[in-house]
Structure 1
Amino acid sequence: MSTPWTEPADITRKVRRSWDSGALLQAYAEDRPFVPIEVPIRGPRPSQIGDDLGAVRDWVGRLDAGRRDDSRYCLDWADVGGRSIGRNRLPSRARVTSWDQAWALLGVAAQVRRYDAALREVEGAAAVRDWVVNHPLRTLEIASDLRGIVAAYEWLAAQRGSGRYLREISAPGVDTKFAERHRGVLAQILGVAGTSLGFLRGLGLATKPEFVRLRPASTLGLPAQLTELALRSEELARLSLAPRRAIVVENEISYLSVDVPPDGIVLWGKGFDVDLVGRLPWLAEADIDYWGDIDTHGFAILDRLRAWLPQTRSVLMDRETLLHHRDRWVSEERPTSAALARLTLAEGQLYAALVSDDLGNRVRLEQERIDWHWVERALRDRG
């Protein structure tokens, strides 16, 4: 007969919640006194006892056997019944009163021994030990790598602000791949962002150089033999260039295809990497044209470039161009609806139409799909 009465598995489930949250192991690691866990027991009502005394006895037997001579939990008892059925002593509450009882009930003694070994492994590294105490279950997952994590932490902490590359790590038993694999854990211990770039910048380590590709006019003073360059963004920013006009193009092949304007320059914006272009100080006085996809992210990138270079004008990102190429529309996978404060009135209206699907479902016109004669005429007119 199925009953709503408390079973040994219900007691285990209640205690397991404290294990699954990490609270039990954390309190254990902090050497706190064990706080007893009490589980009220739902049992039969007095009227049910007389209805099926055998079922009640079986139920009591299961609870009593489940405590394994109090090695898993203890039971409190209470008198239930009356004159009609007699007095009966039934379990009223289960209590787990010690670490040993909790470990036996949950069957986690082996994990606790492994956790004890992990605490010993990090004993000499206070920051790592604090992390182990606060993340006990994650610690069990990476216990075999803790020695390397300690070594990596000590090297990284000593190299803060050094400007060295992570590739130069020389901690015992640790290489770059190990540090990257455990970057999330190391970031938490060191108090920096867990993203690849945020981790390196937060520690003051060297990051992979960011390059800007450009096609300059021969009149800008760069070697005439070089029709295209890719330079580190910070080094490019230090050059003394004075282009009269700059065309920033999002798509790589379109960037390679457009004509370089007289006394000007063409730069590959490369999507949201357009910030690298926007930071170039010698573009502050130039006429800037930006050509991106006609979709929500294209306008978001335009808005972002204007944060650096407010004089930027859009080209080939208008309603006429979009409608003329209706047969070449595709669908934008993950459109944005962010508020863009730097768009012109016409740009803002077109962006709003794209966001609200006024022209169709997630309309997108990629710039490489625009007829090239249309492109040439628009750039010529703008020039």
Structure 2
Amino acid sequence: MTDPSRWTGVEGVRAVVRRRWDDGSLLRAFALREEFTPIDVALRHPSAADLAEHFDAARAWVDAVVRGSRGGRAYRLQRDRIGGRISGATEVPARAVVESHDQAWELLGAAQEAQTFRRVVEASDDDEAPRAWALAHPTATIALADDWGRMLSAFRWLDAHRGSGLYLRQITARSVDTKFVERHRKPLAEMLGVSSAAPRFVRDLGLAAKPQTVRLRFDPAVFGFPSVLSEASFRVDELRTLRVRPSRALVVENEITYLSVPVPPGGVVLWGKGYDADQPASLEWLADVPVSYWGDLDTHGFGILNRVKAWLPQVESVLMDRETLLAHRERWVVEGTPTNAALSRLDAGDQAVYDDLVTDRFGPSVRLEQERIDWSWALARLG
């Protein structure tokens, strides 16, 4: 005897067909008007012994499976005879066969969505890449159906303007603006064969990207500016072209600390902005200048220092030493997501402190944020 709960009901049949919907095979075949491949589902049904033990449950199961076929509109039933001379022979549904797309849509309640998908595919006949994308992502395409005309318009404009150097803001595709492209960047990127990551999307298409900028404070004499100017934000590509040689430079992670530190005579202070420190570090005129880096005393602070050293091997850390760490024990916090990456460019002193943090030598995930360091302590060591 079997447990009645294990008999295959309408939901079991629907689940088999639903898998073909989810993997896209049903929708692709329908959109391409291909011949339907029947879906034959074997039903776990009551046995002869079950009829004696669970007669009412068996009769209810048969009624439910028959009703679920909706008179053959959802599936055709095949029956087997069970029982024999003693208990009498009885026919029960043994297989449910879905023989057409119409039956599949009836069973899934998805006729409207299927017709929508077919219309979208056929509307894309002149656009090979969007059509291929739609066929590869049927359910996602249905979700985009209301916007599909604008998707095609955006695709055509972006494809036609590869390498143009235009900003995305300059898009003139009908009914398309930058917000639409940004909202649908992932499918558009896949159609266009480029990265879906925001910065790389425009770069891969040869469009203009938002310029990278560096904010810095300086001794005006370094740039030959009037004495009333002490701070500016420059485009990195333009700043690189300058021929200047400051006496020294300090890259600072935290903005308020950047604004607070004194500018060395003939020098510059640059805001690193965490992992954006690559931008100031990439300035070629810093290559032969004494440069210091001051970041948070945590594992990611040393990770950023390691990246800065890839550009400027001469960089030395400041206020990221063990003495500073231990002198501010009461100001420690917990680093939320520490790293333990191998940092190959650190010098011996920095590596030792990094190892202390990674191994929790002084406590779990110790972090001393830059802005928590006593200001008089910092000034005495900044020189």
Residue 319 of structure 2 corresponds to 316
Query: Given the alignment, which residue of 119, 122, 147 partners 2:121?
Result: 119
Structure 2 residue 355 is matched with structure 1 residue 342 = no
Q: Deviations over 1:182-228 (max 9, x none)?
A: 11221111111222212111111111111111223344342142222
Deviation at 1:84, TM superposition (A): 2.1
User: Residues 51 and 266 (structure 1 numbering): CA distance in 2 closer, same or farther, change over 3 Å?
Assistant: closer
Structure 1: which 5+ residue stretches go unaligned?
A: none
| Structure 2 counterpart SS, 1:33 | coil
User: Relative to 1, partners in 2 of residues 1:71 and 1:262: Cα closer, same or farther, differing over 3 Å?
Assistant: same
SS of the equivalent of 1:276 reads helix
Show CA shifts across 1:283-306 (max 9, x none).
Answer: 111111101110111111000101
Q: Distance in 2 between matches of 1:343 and 1:42?
A: 66
Quote the residue 1:164 is aligned against: 166
Q: Does 1:73 align with 2:60?
A: no
Aligned residue in 2 for 1:332: 335
**Cα offset, 1:55, TM superposition:** 4.1
User: What is the aligned counterpart of 1:95 among 88, 94, 97?
Assistant: 97
Partners of 1:334 and 1:52 in 2: how far apart?
58
| Percent of residue pairs identical | 48
Quick one: structure 1 residues 339 and 29, their matched pair in 2 at CA, closer, same or farther if it must change by over 3 Å? farther
Specify the code of the residue in structure 2 equivalent to 1:379.
L
Residue matched to 1:4 = 6
Structure-2 change in CA distance of 1:27 and 1:352 (3 Å): farther
Match for residue 36 of structure 2? 34
The C-alpha deviation readout for 1:59-117, integer Å capped at 9, x for no partner, is 33332332223221112222322332233332221111211111111111111122222
Residue 52 of structure 2 is matched in structure 1 by 50
Q: Which residue of 1 aligns with 2:179?
A: 177
- Checking the alignment, whether the CA contact within 8 Å between 1:5 and 1:44 is kept in structure 2 is yes
Aligned counterparts of 1:341 and 1:24: Cα–Cα separation in 2: 53
Secondary structure of the 1:86 match is coil
User: Which residue matches 2:225?
Assistant: 223
2: CA distance, partners of 1:343 / 1:122: 55
CA contact (8 A) 1:122 1:147 kept: no
- Aligned match of 1:362 in 344, 365, 383? 365
Q: State whether structure 2 residue 275 is matched by structure 1 residue 272.
A: yes
AA at the equivalent of 1:149: M
Matched, 1:252 2:255: yes
TM-aligned CA deviation for residue 232 of structure 1: 0.4
Alpha-carbon offset, residue 349 of structure 1:
2.3
Task: Report matched runs for 1:141-152 at 5 Å.
Answer: 141-152=143-154
Quickly say closer, same or farther: Cα 1:288–1:46, change in 2 above 3 A: same
CA RMSD after TM alignment: 1.9
Structure 1 residue 260: Cα displacement? 2.3
Distance 1:209 1:131 in 2: 32
Q: Please tell me the residue identity of whatever aligns with 1:374.
A: W
2:44, 2:94 within 8 Å by CA — same for their partners in 1?
yes
User: 1:2-23 CA distances to partner (integer Å, 9 max, x unpaired)?
Assistant: 5422212221122112223333
1:139 positional shift:
1.4
Aligned with residue 104 of structure 1, among 103, 106, 120: 106
| Cα contact 1:210–1:232 (8 A) shared by 2 | yes
Contact map agreement 1:293 1:367 (CA 8 A) in 2: yes
What TM-score, normalized by structure 2, do the two folds share?
A: 0.93
TM-score, length-scaled by structure 1: 0.93
Which piece of structure 1 moves more, 309-318 or 216-225?
A: 216-225
- Assess if the C-alpha contact under 8 Å between 2:250 and 2:291 holds in 1: yes
Letter of the structure 1 residue corresponding to residue 262 of structure 2: D
**Structure 1, 322-331 or 52-61: larger mean CA deviation:** 52-61
**Using the alignment, how far apart are the partners of 1:243 and 1:231 within structure 2?**
16
Contact 1:30 1:133 in 2 (8 A): no
